[in-house]
Amino acid sequence: VASGKLGYFYSVRNKPDSALKYYNITIELDPEYDQTYMNRGEAKYRLGDKKGACADWKKAAELGNKNAKDIVSKYCK
């Protein structure tokens, strides 16, 4: 959880590269934590990686995140 919070901190500070580093660590430690996929998807989207963002948002949706389903339908056509 702490690494995910660091990822979010860097995301808020507009440092998506650092955010991705900590989101990746969090997913390695807990690959079932859907919110990290949501956050990493947002960071990838901000970096222009729409395909990677959609993959993360789809994974979050598979894990049961209801917000992810809405985002996928809106941004991942």
pLDDT by residue for the chain (77 residues), tens only, comes to: 799 999 999 999 999 999 999 999 999 999 999 999 999 999 999 999 999 999 999 999 999 999 999 999 999 98
At a CB cut-off of 8 Å and minimum separation 6, what does 66 contact? none
Quote the pLDDT of residue 68: 97
Cα torsion angle, 13, 14, 18, 20, sign: positive
Specify the pTM.
Answer: 0.93
Q: How far is CA 43 from the centre of its chain?
A: 6
